Structure 1
């Protein structure tokens, strides 16, 4: 639809959206979700509801000759009581696969979270406009990657030339599930999360179901993955089960089996890679739950600590060391009847020596440099020659 000023208005629909499993039409605009409505109705806590609405890996994708693009959004800014202010979310513009611009919006709805009191409140805010100008005057593929950690309602898309649906990329679809590390915590930008970097290096189309605090072997997540078309699947399991202190060893093994069984109902022969946790000193041998370090918060720093007792592992409490052993055992047990099931030790992606060089700033999440290291190693081991995701024609 053309406007009196020469802009073309393009409805925001699933035709030009990648990386989301649902697009909710709200009174304010289109809200991307990374879990479908059926799954969202079964979410038991606000943390996962918030995380799945944060569009990690979600991007607008279209073809156009436009030299100028405007996107109206309502972003949700998070404020944690007692913690340092969070940076604004980053929107990244890619033209023909190359990063050409970044932008952000300074205002929007404000979600104030008090982790100590367990409360949250929302203050509505304004619609803001992103502008990207100076694009080449030729038909090109355009992607706008949404902030990986900032819920974003898409209000309007305007261009100075018509928009067409993107061409099929021909790349395999990689469906990934993991924790806040996969979601992108501490990454500087949406294409800088380790799954986004690994997908770029491996030549794959990413659907990122990495949920901050939400990789908990939930059956509704498994069913969402089962029902999502994909060529390659992987699950990265462990840190959230420990730091939420969600289950004991007796429950963990059967829950992993059940999750994998559900994935196989929809993807019986697709390469399926199980990745164990990367190195995290506070939980290597100490169970959860984890909690904010109040002394660090008093100094204006966000940092976490483990509050469990290592002696409780004898009674079945989980640590990252226990989980790595159990995941390796489960994959080995299933492999004779599932030749497309594979295992990758998370310590091969980020281990103790990596932590010595690139320590986790808040004791839980990697910094941007560590995100890149994890991505490069995953790409070599998964997408590289002999890897479970390697293309047969390479």
Structure 2
């Protein structure tokens, strides 16, 4: 299905060229500029947060002042002078909306910590976490009220990277906050970790009231690759700012190293990873190698190695995936731009979380969840000189 789906996407996308054999362009800025050339619109959705974080990473890595100015202006444009985040509802609780806080914090910090509107906007998001509906054991609901008492791997990425970065900037000595951040990881690990494969299921229902919930653990039935990708990224990014003196650091690092081992063992011979990663479904007719998680895993391995959180052996794992991405998922257009293929549009636990559901969701060309993650990975490739 993977090859058939890619062929269909390529046919719809217009003329393309074979991959250049001797290009000297950095993929990070090349893909970022290509995305901008396609006339995408800005909003405060988490997908835009991912894309603009990718552009910022590319710009800083390659010292591209034009791209950095674009990213800075884009984030500034969605925060009013009084600190109001345009489109954000302080009474609507969905963890996806918290991710934009990372972009706000980045530019507040990088631009001298002078812009009060960013401080106000970030504090608004942080204060909302204090009011957030929680499971009986303290986990953030993924979304209220529709996903009551549910935690998803996706939500750890959306909220806890911001929560940790904010705490490191404004309240580094707040042990209660660091304990709370650790708790979110502890809960998701307790309920969704498969200790045979070392992979994690998409999410869990703490009260086990959901149709898909395991009667013992509450976990959903399958390992969905992008949810695991979000989680892998979150572990690396939270550990980057988590105080090493806190007992939780060693615990989170243990979660990371165990997961890194499990993901490596699940890597396909092609270099990528299956949409549904449970071992028994590798190679199944309706399963396929999916691009967004492949990019997220590549980024997480390389950044984890660079930060000293992961063993250097994982560089080879990442490079194998990188070769696949630049050969199979990067689409080289005749006008000199790039496109990104092979990213599944969505994966949700709102329905029955069945294998049939996950494997029948369509793929999306230039989907920001995959394209942005590819740019993340590209910056790490370039930082490492690989």
Same fold (TM over 0.5): no
Task: Give the structure, 1 or 2, with the largest relative contact order (CA under 8 Å, sep 6 or more).
Answer: 2
TM-score (norm 1): 0.28
Query: Of Structure 1 and Structure 2, which has the larger fraction of its residues in strand?
Result: 1
Query: Of Structure 1 and Structure 2, which has the larger fraction of its residues in helix?
Result: 2
